[in-house]
A and B are shown apart, each in its own frame.
Chain A
Amino acid sequence: MAGIAGGAHGRVMPADTVVRAHTTQEVAACVKDAMSRRTPLRIVGRGHWLDAGAPASPATPLALDALAGIVAYTPGDLTLTARAGTTLSDIAAATAEHGQWLALDPFGTDDGTIGATIATASAGPLAHAFGTPRDAALGLEVVTGDGAIVRTGGRVVKNVAGFDLTRLFTGSWGTLGVITEVTVRLRARPEVDETWAVALPPDGAIGAACRAALGAAAAPIALELVDAPLAAALGLGTGPAMLVRLAGAAAAMRAQRDALRPLGAAALGPADIWQRLRAAEPPGSTVVRLSHLPDRIADTWQLADHAPGVWRHTTPSRGIVRVIVTNADANDAAATIARAATGRCTLIAERAPAAFWAWAATPMPNAALASRVRAAFDPAGILNPGLAPDAPRSHAPQSADA
């Protein structure tokens, strides 16, 4: 088998050194061994996120794709427990049989794993109504950097027993522990699920369009504005469009459709429009997210104006503009945007060349607390080094069998 491909930013790992874990115990043994030898590990699901996040230092890949499968699923409880390497498509297939779904649609494809989704806290357009992975995760099993097997949260939908390690590990990019199992909250699939593409005037005011859409008497489960070049790439025509995903009981649909009329001419979008959007970026694109208050969306949006080869889309309710720099000069365009964003909004680099990170990434807030967290859970700094602030050097590592 070929190496684990890390996407287009040149981070490909050789196959001969991959460690593939089949059980949590194997993960724990691998982490303990790595800790005792101070050899860093790069945690890999199905490899879709390797070129995302900050550039990781060289490390032995610990592959979790074989640590897969649904462990528990009681449809009446609307909860599901799966091993980290389980793909989103496998979860979608199992839950669809019972008219349910995991309402998370991270950018990429459903070939990604639940473990990576939680570890990166990646959220897509459905976050408008259903929140992000931190809102869906109920409990985790994690192997921390010292090889301890830790369970967080539980399998019920409400739980305040103990400190909330579930939230801590969600979005920690594998730098505090290796997520080996995930329990998530499911939702019942709506009877009707349809997406309308509302055509917007080519030079229309973004802010007004977002306000009108958010104020409409409808309850969309996703509301996403795409700019003209992205709309064209998605096959939606030549101008910008507002994608409105309506869902619910059939009886309630008509009034919601009517509520969209004032927004502009609406056409039923293609059934796979959201898959297209999630996987829109060409390989090698640089992707950054700009965010501020929702009512600042027009200002945030225009920070990426006039950059060539740039596609944009936004979830207006969350104030987040996702910018995809598609051309060969991505570095220059991304740098221009980052300069424009400095001091005006939060910039989070999703996928970017290593050089971009060196100067453009928003500094980690609470750096002192963050590095203490890192030291507490990965004392030797062996998990995904580079993705998080390294443990302070003054911290004395514990022995492996502590």
Chain B
Amino acid sequence: MTRAELTDALRAIVGPRGVLSRASELLPLSADGLPTYRLPPSLAVLPSTRQHVIDVVRLLAREGVAFVPRGAGTGLSAGALATGDTVIIGLNRLTRILSIDPVNRLAVVEPGAVNVSLSRAAAAHGLHYAPDPSSQSACTIGGNVAENSGGPHCLKYGVTLNHVVAVTVLLPNGDITTLGSALGETPGYDLLGAFVGSEGCFGIALDVTVRLVPNPQAVRTMLADFMSIEAGARATSAVIASGILPAAIEMMDGPTIRAVEASIYAAGYPADAEAVLLIELDGLEAGIDDDVRRVQAMCTEAGARTVRIARDEAERARLWQGRKKAFGAMGRVAPALVVQDAVIPRTRLPDVLHTIHEIAARWNIQVCNVFHAGDGNLHPNIAFDPHDADATERVHHAMREIMRACVDAGGTITGEHGVGLDKLEYMPLIFSPASLDAQCRLRGVFDPERRANPGKVVPVHACREWLASPAARTVA
């Protein structure tokens, strides 16, 4: 089948408005929020129904064409980009919430359902969907499953993996299977656990069954401000070690605070502070204020100037808005922002943040830190001008050093954004060749032809099987 024939065949499935082939209409699909990657695809298909998705994938399977499943394109790891002949399958038209079972606290959604829309729909039952990435007003549940996404409240409630009960999967060869079950335990291997976080390499989720969580009886949100990042990090470590498990502990550093305060998202953070901690406690009303006092004391002990407790829902929403829109606010600092993602052991927060600061100074770049301190999940964000070749080069160098510092501290290269293309080069820093090969073997189970999101997650040279294949010899 020629490319034109393939395009026509796809149009026959999804209709003329469901296929994008002109450069101008494909432009929005050439990035996923990470300014260092811009890869225009040559063809995209946007199914409107489940049957469309199935027919499209089966057509591509027959024709041996590779594809990239894509949700809202907010992944930040270049995981949802396609090059060459690879076709993008955009799933963000499948947005329905198929059912909510308030008694068993379950919901079934289509892959393109927007994260926050599920919590809105569940609110009528006093429930919500716990994983809340900062992009939750745009990102999709299917994308969350692909990336095993986190969010501020994952500190207490767990990440996507802990909330997905079952997924109906369309395998790359067109077969449909259900992983996991909402109806009790599943015997056999935890293929659902393997599928969550597989970055679109194992197939497409046709529907996702997730757990809903009861809204807490009581919520207390507090803001502590510090004159050094180290002091904020010490407070975080103290709270984590104390046994109180906050719903969230988020940190923002001085540059972030000032960008937020200068923006329309101004949240009332003290603009002269070098760090603020946004700490949220939730649970039963009984005893929560004692925990608030203990956390307050720990922050003060660590050097907090003030610890403010939100008096009402409006103030709480305002404090959170500053955090959730911090990335947007940084648009004031420079035209582009690399949002990075790494995790370190929580006791290493003070020294690794210090190291990141040194690296930024050495490469003369501006790093803004806004991150999930309670999990040790850093987001060192670098604001820069992508048209400045020298600055771009320095950003790359600094990024590599920051990643290495996190790995050297016993950490990992991504906590919630995924490997995609961006983190491929770091995979050998944390996994041996045998460990990478084992990941390739798992991919081979789901997608022996390596047609689903090819070239992502595991460096191709790590796969023994691939190296032995005729394709590898051709490349060499």
| Residues of chain A at the chain B interface (Cβ within 8 Å) | 74-79, 99, 121, 131, 134-135, 144, 148-152, 154-168, 170-172, 176, 187-191, 217-219, 248-249, 251-256, 289-295, 319-320, 345-346, 348, 361-362, 364-366, 369-370, 372-373, 376-377, 388, 402
19 contacts between A and B (CB under 8 A): A77-B346, A150-B435, A158-B343, A160-B197, A161-B412, A162-B419, A162-B431, A165-B442, A167-B192, A176-B189, A188-B241, A188-B243, A189-B243, A191-B243, A293-B106, A320-B185, A362-B187, A370-B188, A377-B441
Which of B104, B147, B190, B423 is close to A134, meaning CB atoms less than 8 Å apart? B190
Q: For A160, what are the chain B residues with a Cβ–Cβ distance below 8 Å?
A: 147-148, 197, 414-419
User: Which residue from chain B places its CB closest to the CB of A372 in the assembled complex?
Assistant: B445
- Roughly how many angstroms separate A366 CA and B183 CA in the complex, as a whole number? 16
CB distance from A381 to the nearest CB of B (A): 15
- Roughly how many angstroms separate A171 CA and B180 CA in the complex, as a whole number? 13
Find out whether the CB atom of B415 lies under 8 angstroms from the CB atom of A219.
no
Also in contact, A74 and B347, with CB within 8 A (given A156-B412, A167-B193): yes
Which of A156, A166, A255 is close to B376, meaning CB atoms less than 8 Å apart? A156
Also in contact, A163 and B187, with CB within 8 A (given A188-B241, A255-B286, A256-B286): no
- Roughly how many angstroms separate A172 CA and B237 CA in the complex, as a whole number? 35
Find out whether the CB atom of B464 lies under 8 angstroms from the CB atom of A402.
yes
User: Which residue from chain B places its CB closest to the CB of A99 in the assembled complex?
Assistant: B243
- Among A121, A134, A158, A168, max chain B CB count under 10 A is at A158
Other A-B contacts than A78-B240, A150-B434, A156-B415, 20 sampled, CB-CB below 8 A, are A134-B193, A135-B158, A156-B376, A159-B415, A161-B430, A161-B431, A163-B201, A165-B439, A168-B190, A168-B194, A171-B190, A187-B245, A188-B243, A188-B244, A217-B284, A252-B284, A254-B286, A293-B104, A366-B179, A373-B189
Q: For A254, what are the chain B residues with a Cβ–Cβ distance below 8 Å?
A: 286
Find out whether the CB atom of A131 lies under 8 angstroms from the CB atom of B284.
no
Also in contact, A348 and B344, with CB within 8 A (given A144-B438, A160-B414, A188-B242): no
Q: For A135, what are the chain B residues with a Cβ–Cβ distance below 8 Å?
A: 158, 162
- Roughly how many angstroms separate A157 CA and B375 CA in the complex, as a whole number? 6
Q: How many A-B residue pairs have CB under 8 A?
A: 236
- Roughly how many angstroms separate A188 CA and B376 CA in the complex, as a whole number? 17
Q: For A348, what are the chain B residues with a Cβ–Cβ distance below 8 Å?
A: 185, 187
Q: For B290, what are the chain A residues with a Cβ–Cβ distance below 8 Å?
A: 249, 251-252
Also in contact, A161 and B413, with CB within 8 A (given A77-B346, A252-B290): yes
Which of A151, A161, A165, A295 is close to B414, meaning CB atoms less than 8 Å apart? A161
Also in contact, A158 and B150, with CB within 8 A (given A365-B188, A366-B177): yes
Which of B189, B244, B284, B419 is close to A161, meaning CB atoms less than 8 Å apart? B419
**Is there a chain A Cβ closer than 8 Å to B334's Cβ?**
no
CB distance from A294 to the nearest CB of B (A): 5
Interface residues of B in 148-182 (CB under 8 A from A): 148, 150, 154, 158-159, 161-162, 177-179, 181-182
User: Which residue from chain B places its CB closest to the CB of A28 in the assembled complex?
Assistant: B434
- Roughly how many angstroms separate A292 CA and B165 CA in the complex, as a whole number? 13
CB distance from A291 to the nearest CB of B (A): 3
User: Which residue from chain A places its CB closest to the CB of B194 in the assembled complex?
Assistant: A168
Q: For B439, what are the chain A residues with a Cβ–Cβ distance below 8 Å?
A: 162-163, 165
- Roughly how many angstroms separate A373 CA and B439 CA in the complex, as a whole number? 11
Find out whether the CB atom of A76 lies under 8 angstroms from the CB atom of B190.
no
Q: For B430, what are the chain A residues with a Cβ–Cβ distance below 8 Å?
A: 154, 161
Q: For B101, what are the chain A residues with a Cβ–Cβ distance below 8 Å?
A: 293
- Roughly how many angstroms separate A344 CA and B146 CA in the complex, as a whole number? 32
**Is there a chain A Cβ closer than 8 Å to B191's Cβ?**
yes
**Is there a chain A Cβ closer than 8 Å to B287's Cβ?**
yes
Also in contact, A121 and B190, with CB within 8 A (given A151-B435, A159-B415, A369-B445): yes
Find out whether the CB atom of A155 lies under 8 angstroms from the CB atom of B345.
yes
Find out whether the CB atom of B343 lies under 8 angstroms from the CB atom of A75.
no
Q: For A154, what are the chain B residues with a Cβ–Cβ distance below 8 Å?
A: 343, 411-412, 430
As a 0/1 sequence over residues 434 to 463 of chain B, the CB contacts with chain A under 8 angstroms (1 = contact) are 111111011111100000000001100000
The 8 closest A-B pairs by CB, nearest first: A252-B287, A167-B193, A291-B184, A188-B243, A255-B286, A346-B184, A76-B347, A158-B415
- Among A168, A217, A289, A292, max chain B CB count under 10 A is at A168
- Roughly how many angstroms separate A26 CA and B360 CA in the complex, as a whole number? 45
User: Which residue from chain A places its CB closest to the CB of B177 in the assembled complex?
Assistant: A366
- Roughly how many angstroms separate A148 CA and B440 CA in the complex, as a whole number? 14
- Roughly how many angstroms separate A156 CA and B347 CA in the complex, as a whole number? 11
Q: For A361, what are the chain B residues with a Cβ–Cβ distance below 8 Å?
A: 187
CB distance from B232 to the nearest CB of A (A): 16
Q: For B243, what are the chain A residues with a Cβ–Cβ distance below 8 Å?
A: 99, 188-191
**Is there a chain A Cβ closer than 8 Å to B186's Cβ?**
yes
Q: For B417, what are the chain A residues with a Cβ–Cβ distance below 8 Å?
A: 160
**Is there a chain A Cβ closer than 8 Å to B64's Cβ?**
no
Find out whether the CB atom of B104 lies under 8 angstroms from the CB atom of A376.
no
User: Which residue from chain B places its CB closest to the CB of A131 in the assembled complex?
Assistant: B162
Q: For B441, what are the chain A residues with a Cβ–Cβ distance below 8 Å?
A: 376-377
Q: For A77, what are the chain B residues with a Cβ–Cβ distance below 8 Å?
A: 345-347, 376
- Roughly how many angstroms separate A60 CA and B177 CA in the complex, as a whole number? 36
User: Which residue from chain B places its CB closest to the CB of A379 in the assembled complex?
Assistant: B441
Also in contact, A165 and B375, with CB within 8 A (given A74-B345, A219-B284): no
- Roughly how many angstroms separate A293 CA and B185 CA in the complex, as a whole number? 10
Find out whether the CB atom of A376 lies under 8 angstroms from the CB atom of B445.
yes
Q: For B343, what are the chain A residues with a Cβ–Cβ distance below 8 Å?
A: 154, 156-159
Which of B345, B437, B444 is close to A79, meaning CB atoms less than 8 Å apart? B345
Q: For B457, what are the chain A residues with a Cβ–Cβ distance below 8 Å?
A: 162-163
CB distance from B429 to the nearest CB of A (A): 10
Q: For A149, what are the chain B residues with a Cβ–Cβ distance below 8 Å?
A: 432, 434
- Roughly how many angstroms separate A132 CA and B104 CA in the complex, as a whole number? 18
- Roughly how many angstroms separate A390 CA and B321 CA in the complex, as a whole number? 53
Find out whether the CB atom of B194 lies under 8 angstroms from the CB atom of A219.
no
**Is there a chain A Cβ closer than 8 Å to B116's Cβ?**
no
- Roughly how many angstroms separate A331 CA and B188 CA in the complex, as a whole number? 23
Find out whether the CB atom of A251 lies under 8 angstroms from the CB atom of B194.
no
Find out whether the CB atom of A163 lies under 8 angstroms from the CB atom of B242.
no
**Is there a chain A Cβ closer than 8 Å to B427's Cβ?**
yes
Find out whether the CB atom of B198 lies under 8 angstroms from the CB atom of A163.
yes
**Is there a chain A Cβ closer than 8 Å to B196's Cβ?**
yes
- Roughly how many angstroms separate A170 CA and B188 CA in the complex, as a whole number? 11
**Is there a chain A Cβ closer than 8 Å to B291's Cβ?**
yes
User: Which residue from chain A places its CB closest to the CB of B430 in the assembled complex?
Assistant: A161
Also in contact, A346 and B435, with CB within 8 A (given A77-B347, A156-B345, A168-B194): no
- Roughly how many angstroms separate A88 CA and B237 CA in the complex, as a whole number? 26
User: Which residue from chain B places its CB closest to the CB of A123 in the assembled complex?
Assistant: B185
Q: For A376, what are the chain B residues with a Cβ–Cβ distance below 8 Å?
A: 441-442, 444-445
- Among B182, B287, B346, max chain A CB count under 10 A is at B287
User: Which residue from chain A places its CB closest to the CB of B436 in the assembled complex?
Assistant: A162
Q: For B187, what are the chain A residues with a Cβ–Cβ distance below 8 Å?
A: 346, 348, 361-362, 364-365
Also in contact, A369 and B284, with CB within 8 A (given A150-B438, A319-B184): no
CB distance from B189 to the nearest CB of A (A): 5
CB distance from A222 to the nearest CB of B (A): 16
CB distance from A13 to the nearest CB of B (A): 25
Q: For A99, what are the chain B residues with a Cβ–Cβ distance below 8 Å?
A: 243
Find out whether the CB atom of B345 lies under 8 angstroms from the CB atom of A172.
no
- Among A217, A290, A376, max chain B CB count under 10 A is at A376
Q: For A291, what are the chain B residues with a Cβ–Cβ distance below 8 Å?
A: 183-185
CB distance from A396 to the nearest CB of B (A): 13
User: Which residue from chain A places its CB closest to the CB of B180 in the assembled complex?
Assistant: A365
User: Which residue from chain B places its CB closest to the CB of A79 in the assembled complex?
Assistant: B345
Find out whether the CB atom of A251 lies under 8 angstroms from the CB atom of B287.
yes
